[in-house]
Amino acid sequence: MEAEREIQKTYSIAEFAAELRRLADMLESNENYSIRLEDEEVVIPQDAVASIVYEIEEGSAEIEFQLSWETGKTEDDDKVEEEDQTENA
């Protein structure tokens, strides 16, 4: 079951630049990109959608480079799996 979550990792500028280079190399070569965040390995598929978000709010600004993709599972899928596990227990 995939729970909703948000994990944030802080990088130095040099580390961030290196990670962006690795991401760019993987995207350009049509390969999946993976990164470990906390205890989770996140794999970004080749068909992910890229966007840039710029926000100004309460005296601070933020820019986010985002990659989005479908996980292939929905909340309804998770509910069905839970029901099946309960019935089979």
Does the global pTM surpass 0.75? no
Which 3 state secondary structure label does DSSP give 32?
Answer: coil
What single letter denotes the amino acid at residue 83? Answer: E
Closest CA to 67 of 49, 54, 52, 55: 49
Runs of H (alpha helix) within the chain: 13-28, 75-88
Task: Tell me what the mean pLDDT of segment 13-34 comes to.
Answer: 93
Query: Is pLDDT of 71 > 60?
Result: yes
- Break the chain into its structural domains and give their ranges: 13-88
